[in-house]
Every structure is written in structure tokens, then in C-alpha cells.
Amino acid sequence: MKYFTVFLFLIMANGYLFGQKTMMVEKIGTSRKYYYHIGDYLKLRVSAQDTILKGKLWEIQDSSIAVSELRPFDVRLCSIGSVYKQFAFPKKLGTYLGFFSAGLFVIIVANHLINKEQVFTPDLFIISGSVLGGSLISFSLSQKRCKIGHRWKVKVLNIPLY
């Protein structure tokens, strides 16, 4: 009986001690759902003050969250105007294309200087400019704005989702 009581206590304590809350942003009527846990990077717009907060998700409560870059800032769920979903691949691609564009610019200019040609030619701007344009397009696709309202909702779940 003693072992059964200890076993029952450990099973019941497991659900309360290791439970982690999850913030979910979902689009009603579709299967689009984005999950945020404590420690995830988050960017959101607070509608009451019209400010943008960027930082790590510090704490999740039932009706508020804390976002922190330097110190935690509490935000009520009802005052969130929009959440920006960040996509890692387009952001990295934009960074690499920007560096590649600068590298191409330097290489073509150095080639023109070595060969004693005109330095700034149309091919210099066409090639490096098109790669830079691809970088800017990739940066613009690296985040998606989810405007909280009739279609997008913010919910707090008490179950851990990994």
C-alpha cells in the first residue's frame, strides 16, 4: 500500500510539475497554427500603445505573456494587435545573397581596375544589383504578419506541444 501511494503521488505530481504552457496563434477555419514556447523568439505589435516588441518569450500566463529583450515586459493577450511569424530560411538566404552581391561588386570592380577598363559599367550594376534585389525580396518574405481579430486568434494551452 505504501508503494502504491508513492507511485500515485509521483504520477499526479508529474502532470503539475513538468507541464509547460504553450501560446498558439491560429487562423480560424484553416489548419494554420503557430506554437510558441518559453525561450522562443517572438515579434508582436501591441495595439493599445502601437509599439512593436521583439525578444524572447519570457513567461506565459493564462491571460498575459512577458516578452523580453533586456527586461520582461508584460502584455495582455487581448491587447495584442498582430504577431509576426518569422521564417528562418528566407532570412538566411537574404543575408547570404546580400554578402554574395557585395562580393560580386568588389570582384568585378577589382577586375576592371586590374584590366585598366572603365570601373563602373552596366554589367556591374546589372549582375550585383539583381542579386541584391533577390536578397531584398527574400528579406521581405522572411516574416508574415498575423493580424489578431476575426481570422487570427491567440490562445494559451496548458499542454506541452513539441
Span 27-39, pLDDT tens digits: 999 999 999 999 8
Adjacent-strand bridge partners of 24: 35, 155
> What pLDDT band is residue 160 in, cutting at 50, 70 and 90?
low
Q: What is the pLDDT of residue 11?
A: 72
Tens of pLDDT, residues 115-144? 999 999 999 999 999 999 999 999 999 999
Considering the chain, what is the average pLDDT of its residues? 88
pTM of the model: 0.73
Q: Could you say which DSSP state residue 28 is in?
A: T
Give the separation between CA 40 and CA 91, rounded to whole angstroms.
17
pLDDT at residue 86 greater than cutoff 70: yes
Q: How confident is the model at residue 161 (pLDDT cuts 50, 70, 90)?
A: low
Quick check: 159 pLDDT over 90? no
Which residues does residue 22 pair with via DSSP β-bridges, in sequence order?
Answer: 157
Count of CB atoms situated within 10 Å of the CB of 95? 14
Does the pLDDT of residue 18 top 60, yes or no?
Answer: no
Residue 66's pLDDT band (boundaries 50, 70, 90)? very high
Largest CA distance in the chain: 93
CB 103 within 8 A of CB 83: no
* Residue-level pLDDT at 129: 95
Q: What is the DSSP letter of 38?
A: T
Cell numbers linked to 17:
510539475
